[in-house]
Amino acid sequence: MQQIRVIDSHTGGEPTRIIVEGGPDLGTGSMAERAEIFKNEFDAIRTAVVSEPRGSDVWIGGLLCEPCDSNCTAGIIFFNTASYLGMCGHGTIGLMVTLQHLGRIAPGEHSLETPVGTILTRLEPNNRVTLTNVPSYRLCANVEIEVPGFGPVIGDVAWGGNWFFCVKNLEEDLSLSNEPHLTQLTKRIRNSLQQHQITGVNGEMIDHIELYGPARKPENHSRNFVLTPGGSYDRSPCGTGTSAKLACLAADGLLEPGDKWRQESIVGSLFECSYEADGERVIPTLTGQAYISAESTLIFDPADPYRTGIDS
């Protein structure tokens, strides 16, 4: 009977489940190559770990791997109920706190290998983690689409480790009580992007939709709502989404290199951010906080008809 050991954490309210034992053997290639093997040969493990009945659309999973580069602390492949992620900011913060919980790392600087590149991190006291994300950029500005039931929507297409549509012209109530409406709106925006064949580079799907509004606390700059690929909303401020936002702010001349940006999530959690210029791209730096919430052994009974998850 197969068993997989996982450790759960949450970063600003958004959960992460890291496979630490019992995961598939993906060989010794790059994280991008191993992610393809995971997708093509072991996808049932993804669905089993994060889908119902063990998980839900809100869960982000990660497979802890041995890195190719001996200078890196670990390799990681992130995934959710819909597919695989190039990078995950809140998941990286959760991973670092998980590695500390396991006694594998101490506070200080650590490098992680991901399918989209090497991520630099710094584990700090009180479960705080600072990460330097992959180079981020705005691909297209002021893209206008017609969204049934809502009218014209204008936004920027940007990359922050995943593809985002950062909406610019809507003023919505970004409160938890309004979540059903926000989820419906952002799902329709994503559907309209697909119908109009608006994509990222090489036809890659824009699978994250991000809304913005005023911060609730005067010391912060913005509040967001992010629809994730599985159809749930991000409880954290979304690390890759905030990176995409920084790229758009930089492109519009609204935020200078090194200036601080404090991004609230819809639940009120916070990422503290800044960026350094890299030609037409930016190198984002994000700081957040994570907490361990559980240690579990997942059991896969061959007689269980839902052992690999419930199909959506």
Cα-based torsion angle of the residue sequence 240, 243, 247, 250 in order, rounded to the nearest 10 degrees? 170
Quick one: 300 exposed, middle or buried, by C-beta within 10 A (0-12, 13-18, 19+)? middle
Could you say which of 65, 72, 166, 238 is catalytic? 238
Beta strands 128-132 and 74-79 are unpaired
238 is catalytic: yes
Cβ pair 247, 283 in contact under 8 A:
no
Strand 261-264, strand 222-227: pairing: parallel
- Cα(217)–Cα(107) distance, rounded to whole angstroms? 30
CB 129 within 8 A of CB 121: yes
The answer to whether 99 touches 111, Cβ cutoff 8 Å, is no
Of 34, 61, 45, 48, the closest CA to residue 228 belongs to: 61
- What is the H or E stretch that residue 205 is in? none
- Among the options 72, 88, 166, 248, which is catalytic? 88
Q: How many C-beta neighbours within 10 Å does residue 134 have?
A: 19
Residue 91 CB-half CA count within 13 A: 29
Euclidean distance between CA atoms 157 and 206, whole angstroms: 8
Residue from 238, 219, 220, 218 nearest 228 by CA: 238
For the annotated catalytic residues, the residue numbers are 88, 238
